Amino acid sequence: MIKPEFNPSQPVGNIIGKLHYYTLMLYPNGDLRADITNSADSRVYVIVSNVISFSQWNHIAMTYDGSVIRLYVNGVKVGEKVQTGIIKQTAHYVYFGSANGSVNYFKGLIDEAKIYKRVLTDSEIQDSFASMNLAPNITQHGNIEMELGSSAEALIGTSTQPTDYYGKFGEFTLKSMSENSILSRLDFTNGNQTVYEITLVKFTNNSSTVYSYDNTFAQPGTSNFVGLNVPLNSAETKVEVYGKLYGVTTSTTQVTSVENVVATGADSMNVLPVSGLPLQLPGLAVIVQGGGNIVTQTGSIEAYINDVGSLDIHNGGDYFATGIFGSFKLLSYGETAKLQKLEFSYETNAVLDSVIIKYLNADRTIEYGSNSITVTDPESHYLAVNTNNIPVTPDGTIVEIEGFLNGCDIGSSPHVFHMRLTNVEAVGDISNEPLGISVFLPLDLQSIQITA
C-alpha cells in the first residue's frame, strides 16, 4: 500500500525495485509505472494515467508471468503489456522508496510491502485489497460535489456618478459524498474587470444551522476565505455569496467563480478532491438608469446606519464589555410594514453571550418592543432574530442592538467588534405580502473598538 504526498519537485518517485531490472514508480501527476528488464537486456514498461489518489491509501500490485506485465490499483487491473523472458538477474539490493538509496525518492508512506516468488492471480490480488479494508477510499470516498444554485441578483442604480453596490453574486451547494468532512477554505476569482470584493459567505445545512463568515477587513479585489470550519455531509449545504462592486458608473454584471475548495475528511483528515471546479456563479447585475429618483414599490424597505455604538469595559478576571453595538433605521415606503426577521453576521475574537434588540420610533420616544436573545452557537458568527411583526413606518423605525462580549483581548491592541446586517424580511401591514428591500445588503454597522 502507498499513501503518496504530492511532490511536484520530484520527477518520479520509486516505490520498490531493483535498479534497471524491475521497478514500480509514481509520477507527480498520479501516473503509475511498472517495468521489467529481461535477460536479453530488453526493458518494457507499462504506464497508467491518473490512477493514484494523493493523501489517501492506495493498494497497488505488479505481476509478471514471463509473458505479460500486469498492473493493479485497488484490486482492479488497470494496465498490461507484453514482455518475454525471465527477469535479468543482478546482485543489486531491493530498494523501497528510492531508486538506489540516493535518487528518485518517494514522498509519502509505504506499508504492507510484499514480494512473492510466484505470480498472484486476479482473485488473490482482489482478496489482498479487500483485506486492507480500503474499499471506502474508492469511488468518491469523501469527494466534495458542487452544484450551481440561484440566478443573479439585479440591483437598480440611479446615479451616473461612481457608486458602490452590495449584492448577492449567487449561491451553490456543497456535499460530501461518503465521509463527513470539514470545509476549511474557499477561493474566488474575478471574471471581468469590475473592482469587487466578496464580503460575506453564508452556509446553511439541512438542519437549518447557519455558519456566517464575514470578510470585514478585506481590501477591494480580495476573494479568499480561509480558516473556515464548516461541517459537510452527504446532505446539501447551501452556500450564499455576497459582495460589493466599487465605483460602478454604467450597467454591468459582475461574474465570479469558485476557483478552489479545500476540505478534509472529518475522521481521516485527508484532503478530499473536489469535482466541478471552477464553478461560475450567475453574478451580480447592476442596472444604472441615470440621475434622479426612481419609483419604488409601495411598502419596500430601506435601511441605513443611524449612529455609532458605545461599549463599557469591565474587568472581572477576563475582560468583558456591555453596551450598544450600533443601530440603524428602517423605512417603509407608502404603508406601515410588519418586520418579520433580521439576520446579522459578526466578527470578534471574544464570545457574544447575549443580545437585546430594541425597536424605537424615529425620535426614540416610543419603544415598539424588544428581543432578548441567548446566543447558543457563537462559533457560527451568525444571528437570526424573529421580530414578531414590529411595525416599520414611513417615518422610520430605529433598531438598536445591545450586547455582552466576554473574553475581550485588549492587551497590546484594541479589540474590534464588527456587525453587519445581512437580511431583512418584512410584509405589508395590509396586504401581508412580502416586501422588496431597496437597501443593498449586507449593511455594515459601525465597528466598535474596545480599549483598556
- The pLDDT value recorded for residue 294 is 32
Q: Can you tell me which residue has the cell 434588540?
A: 357
Mean pLDDT of all residues in 177-188 = 80
- Does residue 442 carry a pLDDT above 60? yes
Q: How confident is the model at residue 92 (pLDDT cuts 50, 70, 90)?
A: confident
Question: pLDDT at position 139, please?
Answer: 35
Query: Residue for cell digits 414611513?
Result: 394
pLDDT value of position 157: 58
Query: Which pLDDT score is estimated for 414?
Result: 60
pLDDT above 90: residue 450: no
Number of Cβ within 10 Å of residue 221's Cβ equals 11
Average of per-residue pLDDT values in the chain: 76
Q: Which CATH architecture has domain 301-450?
A: Sandwich (2.60)
- Single-letter amino acid, residue 345: S
Question: Per-residue pLDDT averaged across 193-202, rounded?
Answer: 75
pLDDT value for 61: 93
For the stretch 47-77, pLDDT in tens is 887 778 777 788 899 999 999 999 998 788 8
pLDDT for 143: 62
Torsion of Cα atoms, 269 then 271 then 276 then 282, to 10°: 80
Write down the pLDDT at residue 69: 93
What is the rounded CA–CA span in Å between residue 151 and residue 252? 15
Q: Give the separation between CA 422 and CA 328, rounded to whole angstroms.
A: 13
> 10 Å Cβ neighbour count for 277?
14
Q: Locate CATH 2.60.120.200 in the chain.
A: 2-137
pLDDT band at 150 (very low <50, low <70, confident <90, very high): low
Model confidence at 141, in pLDDT bands (50, 70, 90)? very low
Q: How long, in residues, is the chain?
A: 452
Higher pLDDT, 407 or 411: 407
Domain with CATH 2.60.40 in the chain: 144-288, 301-450
139 Cβ contact list (under 8 Å, min separation 6): none
The strand order across the sheet containing 224-232 reads: 224-232, 181-190, 256-265, 279-280
> Count of alpha carbons within 13 Å of 422, Cβ hemisphere only?
29
Q: Kindly tell me if the per-residue pLDDT of 207 is higher than 50.
A: yes
pLDDT per residue as tens digits for the range 248-283: 777 777 778 888 888 887 766 777 777 777 888 877
Question: Which of the residue ranges 209-213, 214-218, 228-232 would you say has the lowest mean pLDDT?
Answer: 214-218
The pLDDT tens digits of the residues spanning 31-45 come to 889 999 998 889 898
Kindly tell me if the per-residue pLDDT of 95 is higher than 60. yes
Helices (H) and strands (E) counted in the chain, each on its own, are 1, 34
Sheet holding 153-157, edge to edge: 153-157, 284-288, 252-254
Coil, strand, or helix at residue 335? Answer: coil
Are 213 and 200 within 8 A, CB to CB? yes
Percent of the chain with pLDDT over 70: 74
Retrieve residue 111's grid coordinates: 506499508
Query: What top-level class would CATH report for the domain 2-137?
Result: mainly beta
Q: Could you read off the pLDDT of 365-407 as tens digits, one per residue?
A: 778 888 888 887 777 888 889 988 888 887 778 888 888 877 7
Alpha carbon distance 381, 402 (integer Å): 16
> Alpha-carbon distance 228 to 181, whole Å?
12
Q: What's the confidence (pLDDT) of residue 297? A: 36
CA 264 to mean position of chain CA atoms: 11
Average pLDDT for 87-105: 84
Span 302-322, pLDDT tens digits: 555 455 445 444 444 456 677
Please state which of the ranges 17-26, 218-227, 327-336 shows the lowest mean pLDDT. Answer: 218-227
Residue 430 sits at the vertex; the CA angle it makes with 424 and 433, to the nearest 5 degrees, is: 45
Class of CATH domain 144-288: mainly beta
* In contact, 435 and 300? CB cutoff 8 Å: yes
| Model confidence at 293: pLDDT above 50 | no
CB 107 within 8 A of CB 68: no
